[in-house]
Amino acid sequence: MVRRWAPALVLGGVWWWAVLRLLLEPQHAGLVEGAVAAGGWGLSLLPVHVAATVRPERVAEEPDESGATDISP
């Protein structure tokens, strides 16, 4: 689990560093800070909440959430 969250936290920290540097010291911020801030903002626009999920098929005799069983062949 640490392997999954560590890169996300590091990249999030780098993004915040770039954004704060652009806001607090715009005269010293350069191309790298602008690219990191714009790239992170662009990634936030991806519609990841629309991604399809893979669900296992249920067996015909297995009851669904309502308690009914599927009797079709």
Q: Write down the H helix ranges in 1-73.
A: 2-24, 31-44
Q: Which pLDDT does position 47 carry in this prediction?
A: 67
Q: How far is CA 42 from the centre of its chain?
A: 12
Quote the pTM value.
0.54
Q: Which pair of structure tokens corresponds to residue 52?
A: 């399809």
- Token pair 């015909």 is found at 60
Q: Residue 71's pLDDT band (boundaries 50, 70, 90)?
A: low
Residue 72: DSSP 8-state: -
Residue ranges of the domains in the chain? 8-46
Do residues 15 and 7 make contact, with C-beta atoms less than 8 angstroms apart? no
Structure confidence by residue, pLDDT tens digits, 23-68: 898 888 888 888 888 888 777 766 666 666 677 676 666 555 665 5
